[in-house]
Amino acid sequence: MPNCPECTAREKKKIQAKYEADTPEEERGRDDLFKLYDEIDIPMKMDAATKHFICKRCGLYATREQVSDIRYKLNQKERTRDDKHDDYLEWWSKSKKEKQEN
Ligand SMILES: [Zn+2]
């Protein structure tokens, strides 16, 4: 059974906040965080009659396609945030370099 995408996203945020509170910045690693994410276990229940998945925790009711769609969109949202951050850093270091050259 797939994990509930909504609950998983919420759980990830909680895990990340706890990890950042417990672990000093210089000891943090992305892989450690991903290992914690792997432990998330919020399986949905299959309703055989309607072929829908149901999350007992948040009440999400969706087909398999909708579940992957929601998961995709939530991942996309996270990635976009990271990308924006990288763009900003790139822009920042570039403008710094240009300033030094002028
Ligand atoms: Zn849920």
The Å distance, Cα 30 to ligand 1 centre, comes to 25
The Å distance, Cα 15 to ligand 1 centre, comes to 16
Per-residue pLDDT for 57 more than 90?
Answer: yes
Per-residue pLDDT for 82 more than 90?
Answer: no
Write the DSSP assignment of 24-36 as a string of letters.
Answer: -GGG--HHHHHHH
CB atoms within 10 A of CB 7: 17
The pLDDT tens digits of the residues spanning 11-50 come to 999 999 999 999 999 999 999 999 999 999 999 999 999 9
Instruction: Give the pLDDT of residue 45.
Output: 96
* pTM summary value: 0.72
Q: Is residue 63 a contact partner of residue 52, using CB atoms and an 8 Å limit?
A: yes
The residue extents of the domains of the chain are 5-101
Protein residues placing their CB within 5 Å of the ion ligand 1: 4, 6-7, 55, 57-58, 60
Instruction: Give the pLDDT of residue 100.
Output: 66
- Cβ within 8 Å of residue 40, ≥6 positions away: 3, 8, 11, 12, 15
